[in-house]
Structure 1
Amino acid sequence: MLGLRAHGLLWLAALLALASAADIMDGIGAEWKMGLRPRQSGTNLQPFSGALGGASASAITNSGNSERPYEVEGDTFPDFQTAATRACDNQKNACAEIANSGGSFEVSACEEQN
């Protein structure tokens, strides 16, 4: 009888450990989603591939500077998010110039890109 009870407690402990591990992995995954970037070909880290009116986003590359490792059109940045924001701003400006120069779309379409 003691063997059955111990066996049942062992299964219960294993089930609780498994449930706890799943919760921990969900928490870890939620934090990592924002930090991971998909593998890109070559050295361009730019994840955005849209080019409304032919205006594509600037490349984000490794500057070789450990303190400011990301580079966009000659300017360097300390983190990927800041570099991506600059590349996005540059692309929106180029898109707006095309729209204002007789493009077949409105400037507002440039703001709607993600």
Structure 2
Amino acid sequence: MRTISAHVLSAVVLVLSGAGAGARALDIHEELQMGWKMGLLPRQATQNLQTFTGNLGGVAASAITKSNDPSRPFEVDGDTFPDFATAAGRSCDNQKNKCSQAANNAATKFDVSKCDEQA
């Protein structure tokens, strides 16, 4: 029992002191390139990976989240994708289509071309 306590204490001290050669925080891009473990996202968090925050016509981009399928780990509006780029493309396409519908049907009209200009 004393040995386990000593190991736990050592681990806590190392973590709190920031020890470890080359220890640094990873950004989400690096984490996504590290590969999947048991079909879970890095940090095992359910989060929206979509970074586009525009909402022209009140239409936001669809969320990009994890799926439970390790071979198709990304999900957008119920559809799954094998890689982030494809999922992001679908999310953007869905947002652009909904933006165009809003431009054509909204009480406050705006040009559909504005939907194409979003970045």
Say whether residues 1:84 and 2:88 are aligned partners: yes
| Structure 1: gaps of 5 or more residues | 1-34
Residue identity in the other structure for 1:36:
H
User: Pairwise mapping of residues 1-114 of structure 1 onto structure 2 (< 5 A)?
Assistant: 36=29, 43-102=47-106, 103-114=108-119
TM-score where L is the length of structure 2 = 0.60
* In structure 2, distance between residues paired with 1:56 and 1:42: 19
* In structure 2, distance between residues paired with 1:79 and 1:71: 10
Residue identity in the other structure for 2:98:
A
Could you say what the CA RMSD is over the residues aligned between the two structures, in angstroms?
A: 2.1
Could you tell me how far 1:42 is from its partner in structure 2?
A: 5.4
Q: Which runs of 4+ in 1 moved over 4 A?
A: none
Per the alignment, in what secondary structure is the counterpart of residue 94 of structure 1? helix
Could you tell me how far 1:68 is from its partner in structure 2?
A: 0.1
Could you tell me how far 1:87 is from its partner in structure 2?
A: 0.3
TM-score where L is the length of structure 1 = 0.63
| Structure 2: gaps of 5 or more residues | 1-27, 31-44
